Amino acid sequence: MRASRMMTLLLHLQVRGLASGRELATLLEVSERTVQRDVEALASVGVPVRSVRGPAGGYRLDGGYRTRLTGVGLDEAGALAFLGLAGPAQQLGLGELLEGARIKVWAGLTGEARDRARQTAARFHLDPLRWYGTSEPVPCLTQLAEVVWRDRRARIRYVRGTRETLREIDPLGLVLAAGDWYLVALREGERRTYRVSRVVSVEPLDTPVRRPADFDLARTWAESRRELEREGTAVEVTVRVAPETLPRLRRLLPVHGQASVPVTVPGPLTATGEVAVTVPFESESWACWALLGLGGAVEVVGPPRVRRYVADEVRRAAARYGRGPGD
């Protein structure tokens, strides 16, 4: 344990050049006094660790000292796929492994390459979460990650709406999409996609997974997305909408219909200062409820049945709010 800690300390100084005792204590989850003892132990065996006094002081390696003990372990190598995605790595239980691998990779870079890596990190950042949202709770994620990694069949309890089902599956891979986790699996030989937040229990089984020889997770996920996004149009609705509401309307539509909503306000506007557009929906019921969610910022022009439904709902809401609470 101490040897691993001292190796981490040494690699951190090699990457950073200078680090305070407090910074090292936080990194290693020990006291500053323990850091001092580790530094003294390294110095006693000839490693040129020096103490720098003053407000901006700390510890550094003298004379351009570099260690070659930067090999990335097998577990750490598996975590390297999440470089730049510390949050998802933490959710999967790979946070510490990823940090250890990151330190070793940086320590192995030449000075020029390390500068280029720092410049890239300062200019580009990956954020997998959607705006104004938090990730769904995924209490079974680490268990699913374990059976995926071990290629073991699992029995899961899965909830959709109010209905709970028991499924025996061959887990093939986990996908993070727009901040939410999905499990790609086979059930009775057919490909299935499960939302991880709806998995309420995971029972690992001893049976190995029957993984198809040509299975590619990225390609499979792309195919699943295309299948879902190609759902047909059941109804087209013409609306007049306030220009500032166009982005909200666009997000309510299936992918194949989003191009029908302009990102910027086109001209000319209607006499009321609104934009007239015709947009597709997967079902008439979803069209009604989605457009009701935009309130007075949108008016349904047609078809007549959708306009009547929305108008009836608006009248019911107005009547309900026209009386006092509890009346």
Closest CA to 130 of 177, 175, 92: 177
Its pTM stands at: 0.56
Task: Return the CATH number of 141-229, one of 3.30.390.50, 3.50.50.60, 3.30.1330.10, 2.30.30.520.
Answer: 2.30.30.520
The pLDDT of residue 152: 94
Fold of the domain spanning 2-61:
Arc Repressor Mutant, subunit A (1.10.10)
Q: Where are the alpha helices (DSSP H) in the chain?
A: 2-16, 21-28, 32-44, 74-79, 86-91, 95-107, 111-123, 141-150, 217-229, 246-251, 284-292, 304-322
Q: What is the pLDDT along the chain (327 residues), one digit of tens a residue?
A: 565 677 778 777 877 778 888 888 888 888 888 888 888 877 876 778 888 887 778 888 876 666 655 555 545 555 555 555 666 666 676 666 666 666 666 666 566 666 766 666 666 666 666 666 667 888 999 899 899 988 999 999 999 878 899 999 999 999 888 778 899 999 988 989 999 999 999 999 999 998 888 888 888 888 887 776 666 667 889 999 888 888 888 888 877 777 778 777 666 666 677 888 888 888 888 888 889 988 888 999 989 999 999 999 999 988 888 776 765
CB atoms within 10 A of CB 219: 10
Q: pLDDT digits over 94-111, tens only?
A: 666 666 666 666 666 566
CA trace torsion 142, 144, 146, 148 (10° rounding)? -140
Which strands form 298-302's sheet, in the order they lie side by side?
A: 275-281, 235-241, 298-302
Show the tokens assigned to 243.
């220009």
Q: pLDDT digits over 167-197, tens only?
A: 999 999 998 887 788 999 999 889 899 999 9
Domain ranges within the chain, ordered by starting residue: 2-61, 74-123, 141-229, 235-322
HSE-CB of 70 using CA atoms within 13 angstroms: 18
Q: Tell me, rounded to whole angstroms, the distance of Cα 120 from its chain centroid.
A: 21
Closest CA to 70 of 2, 1, 15, 27: 15
The Cα-based distances of 277 to 30, 244, 310, 325 in angstroms read 62, 14, 17, 38
Q: What are phi and psi of 223, to 5 degrees?
A: -65, -40
The pLDDT of residue 147: 93
DSSP letters of 245-292? GHHHHHHTS-GGGGGGS-SS--S---TTS-EEEEEEES-HHHHHHHHH
